[in-house]
């Protein structure tokens, strides 16, 4: 039987037999009655010992069978019935482990569903420029096409390829952030330098829309972080404001530093953000009602990921005087 195949049981039996033989021999050397008494006591002791071991073995075997049912049959087993002795602590530990594994399995399933949704969104986002590119290429193949029209189509083709390049780069950055593969520098960076670098990224399209960008803040203000990544995050916020600000409108960026945090505040003179859209504004692939044509809903999500990874927060709201307001804060170490 399985009980006697246990090496510990066989070891106990061997040690007990040798000890019992020595005890019985000693008893008979003293007196026959002492030898008989020693033999009876040894037999009774060994029987009680192995009976207790057999009961424990059966409990462990039942516990193993229940665990096998959990692992291979997906059954839900109540482990609270194992209350005696050291099995209580063992069953409690196993129950906690099972609960954690079940939680991780549910989390993995949710992440798998989220990944599938993200892949579907990504394929949809890439399909749009690819369709436009294929259409433009087919039009450019026409031999009777006028030179002016050809240049116009080439310009559109260049814009679509630029958009697709931006989409791919942004999606790769999001994936790296999700996987924790981005290593952010921890350098003292002037807030003014970040603001100027972010502003340079939107200078041309803002100029084309006749918009004004105002930069103002404490020249000594700074924070500990990564200048390039932070400028990209702030630039995406500026890009969003630019898209929702009318022709000839104004966007302002102010910054300051105090004992608790370093802060950027971005305001625009647009119509503001609908209240029902505020909770979802930083969701990946979310496009609000006023989203610009071709918007992928990636920029603000990427900004939030970059900012949060550097002990920061970003908040969107409507300013009292009108327009959208974004507040970015980087908190001091240990706060």
| 139 or 112, which is more confident | 139
Query: Does residue 331 carry a pLDDT above 80?
Result: yes
| CA–CA distances in Å: residue 201 to residues 21, 61, 204, 238, 314 | 92, 68, 8, 9, 20
Question: Angle at the Cα of 331 (from 327 to 335), degrees rounded to 5?
Answer: 135
The DSSP letter of residue 257 is E
Identify the weakest region by mean pLDDT among 104-108, 210-214, 298-302, 314-318: 104-108
- The residues, ordered by sequence, that sit 6+ positions from 52 with a Cβ below 8 Å of its Cβ are none
| 288 or 282, which is more confident | 282
pLDDT confidence of residue 91:
59
pLDDT confidence of residue 5:
66
Pairing of strands 250-257, 212-217: parallel
Measure the CA–CA gap between 314 and 225, rounded to whole angstroms: 15
Query: Does residue 284 carry a pLDDT above 90?
Result: no
pLDDT confidence of residue 38:
76
Q: Which of helix, strand or coil describes residue 326?
A: strand
Mean pLDDT of 253-271: 96
Mean pLDDT of 9-36: 78
**51, two tokens:** 């009976």
The DSSP letter of residue 323 is S
Burial of 230 (0-12, 13-18, 19+ CB in 10 A): buried
Domain borders along the chain are 2-77, 103-178, 187-331
Count of H-run helices and E-run strands, the chain: 7, 7
**Is the dihedral angle over the CA atoms 63, 68, 69, 70 positive or is it negative?**
positive
Measure the CA–CA gap between 87 and 237, rounded to whole angstroms: 58
Report residue 258's pLDDT band, with 50, 70 and 90 as the boundaries: very high
Measure the CA–CA gap between 158 and 141, rounded to whole angstroms: 16
**123, two tokens:** 């394929």
| 146 or 225, which is more confident | 225
Mean pLDDT of 304-308: 94
The CA dihedral of 224, 226, 227, 230, to the nearest 10 degrees, is: -100
Average pLDDT score, the chain: 81
Is the pTM of the predicted complex or chain greater than 0.85?
Answer: no
Burial of 239 (0-12, 13-18, 19+ CB in 10 A): buried
DSSP string for residues in 39-75: HHHHHHHHHHHHHHHHHHHHHHHHHHHHHHHHHHH--
| 302 or 13, which is more confident | 302
Query: Does residue 322 carry a pLDDT above 60?
Result: yes
| 86 or 57, which is more confident | 57
| Longest CA pairwise span in the chain (Å) | 127
* 286, 273 Cβ separation under 8 angstroms: no
Mean pLDDT of 65-84: 61
pLDDT tens per residue, range 178-233: 777 889 999 999 999 999 999 999 999 999 999 999 999 999 999 999 999 999 99
**181, two tokens:** 């593969």
Residue 270 sits at φ, ψ, to 5 deg, of -80, -170
Mean pLDDT of 142-150: 83
CATH domain 187-331 topology: Heat Shock Protein 90 (3.30.565)
Query: Does residue 248 carry a pLDDT above 90?
Result: yes
CATH domain 103-178 topology: Helix Hairpins (1.10.287)
Measure the CA–CA gap between 219 and 212, rounded to whole angstroms: 21
């Amino acid at each position: 039987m399985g009980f006697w195949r246990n090496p510990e049981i066989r070891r106990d039996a061997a040690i007990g037999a040798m000890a019992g033989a020595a005890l019985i021999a000693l008893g008979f050397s003293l007196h026959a009655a002492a030898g008989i008494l020693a033999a009876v006591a040894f037999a009774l002791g060994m029987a009680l010992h192995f009976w207790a071991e057999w009961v424990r073995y059966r409990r462990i075997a039942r516990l193993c069978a229940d665990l096998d049912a959990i692992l291979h049959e997906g059954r839900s087993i109540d482990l609270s019935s194992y209350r005696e002795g050291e099995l209580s602590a063992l069953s409690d530990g196993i129950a906690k482990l099972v609960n954690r594994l079940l939680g991780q399995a549910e989390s993995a399933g949710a992440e798998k569903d989220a990944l599938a949704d993200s892949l579907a969104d990504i394929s949809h986002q890439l399909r749009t420029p690819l369709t436009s590119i294929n259409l433009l290429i087919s039009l450019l193949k026409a031999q009777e096409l006028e030179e002016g029209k050809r240049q116009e189509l080439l310009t559109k083709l260049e814009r679509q390829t630029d958009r697709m390049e931006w989409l791919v780069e942004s999606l790769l950055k999001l994936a790296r952030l999700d996987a924790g593969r981005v290593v952010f520098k921890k350098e003292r960076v002037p807030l003014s330098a970040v603001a100027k670098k972010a502003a340079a990224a939107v200078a041309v399209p803002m100029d084309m829309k006749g918009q004004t960008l105002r930069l103002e803040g404490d020249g000594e203000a700074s924070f500990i972080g990564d200048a390039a990544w932070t400028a990209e995050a702030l630039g995406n916020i500026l890009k969003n404001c630019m898209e929702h600000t009318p022709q000839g409108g104004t966007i302002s960026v102010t910054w300051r530093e105090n004992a608790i945090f370093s802060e950027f505040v971005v305001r625009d003179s647009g119509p503001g953000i609908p209240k029902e859209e505020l909770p979802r504004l930083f969701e990946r692939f979310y496009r609000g009602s006023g989203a610009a044509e071709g918007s992928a809903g990636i920029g603000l999500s990427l900004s939030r990921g970059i900012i949060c990874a550097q002990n920061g927060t970003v908040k969107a709201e409507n300013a009292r005087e009108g327009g959208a307001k974004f507040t970015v804060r980087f908190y001091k170490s240990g706060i």
